[in-house]
Amino acid sequence: MSELDTAVDRYLRHVSIERGLSQNTVAAYRRDLGQYLALLAGRGISTPGAIAQADVSAFSVELRTRQEGALTASSTARMLSSVRSFHRFLLDEGLVAVDVAVDTKPPKLASRLPKAITVDQMESVLNAAGGDDTQSLRDRALLELLYATGARISEAVDLNVDDVIGSEGGSADVVRLFGKGGKQRIVPLGSFARTALDAYLVRARPLLATRGTSTPALFLGLRGQRVSRQNAWLIIRARAEQAKLGIEISPHTFRHSFATHLLAGGADVRVVQELLGHSSVATTQIYTLVTADTLRDMYTTAHPRAR
């Protein structure tokens, strides 16, 4: 293993342990830096101190001009962000004397508004899982929880039964979510989500649990194992197809719709920030633009002197 490979391993341990980044994020960093190291190896570089600003620039150019197809601006920005972060780490750790990536600028990204579906469309998706069989009870509980809490799909599938906290009457009342960096937040459950979770926990999960080994996971697959992110995505896609929406939706559609519908209903942006687990209110304010666009469209359509 070269000196540079060792430095990358140290960096990945750093972001995993000290910064508390998720396994998925660390894996993305590993892939990005793997491509960076491949370019450096082709230029005969095997130590951190041998990397020059020209090498970082060459990687940036390679991302935009690679023969198999240039990366999108967002992918290029992410990979260059990984490289910049790695070089800051090298400097902080005293492995290099200067940060050669400090002047590397990622491409500017167009402002993309989150995609949300309407309340009626969401209701159609939820009702598509309205059956009384074990799988439908599980799917309805998962979908209702996603829409009721705005949870990321990874947060939802990582839930254990003990993370659903009941009231004095025993019914599900709030859910404990663990976001990025292990940050914990408590999010209330609406009446529909409470009803769906109670039905699943009483009538469906015990049956699914008998099909596999003992696990504390809240949402179980048909073989009794914890539902994976991929399985959850397939559940959402199948129910959306049943609802005949005519559009593709993803797990993040539930999160976007949760935030957009709350703000449209008059919720304070800082309350929505806490519910979503955003570290900065600026991230949450993107959803206010979605709401403003909707109001503008309604105004243009309805007001006699708007056009």
Q: Is 87 a catalytic residue?
A: no
Q: Is 138 a catalytic residue?
A: no
The helix-helix angle for 229-243 and 251-264 (nearest 10°) equals 70
Q: Is 11 a catalytic residue?
A: no
Write the single-letter amino acid at 304: P
Strand residue runs (E) in the chain: 164-166, 172-178, 184-188
| 3-state SS, residue 241 | helix
CA gyration radius for the chain? Answer: 23
Place of tokens 């056009």: 307
The upper half-sphere exposure of residue 116, i.e. CA atoms within 13 Å in the direction of its Cβ, equals 26
Beta strand pairing call for 164-166 and 172-178: antiparallel
For the stretch 224-233, contacts whose Cβ atoms lie closer than 8 Å and that sit 24 or more positions apart, written own/partner, are 226/157, 227/142, 227/157, 228/157, 229/153, 229/154, 229/157, 231/157, 232/142, 232/153, 232/156, 232/157, 233/153
Q: Is 229 a catalytic residue?
A: no
The helix-helix angle for 191-199 and 134-149 (nearest 10°) equals 150
Q: Catalytic pick from 180, 203, 229, 237?
A: 180
Q: Catalytic pick from 84, 87, 255, 261?
A: 255
Beta strand pairing call for 184-188 and 164-166: unpaired
Q: Catalytic pick from 152, 205, 256, 261?
A: 152
Cα–Cα distance, 52 to 220 (Å, whole number): 50
Q: Is 287 a catalytic residue?
A: yes
Q: Is 147 a catalytic residue?
A: no
Residues noted as catalytic: 152, 180, 252, 255, 278, 287
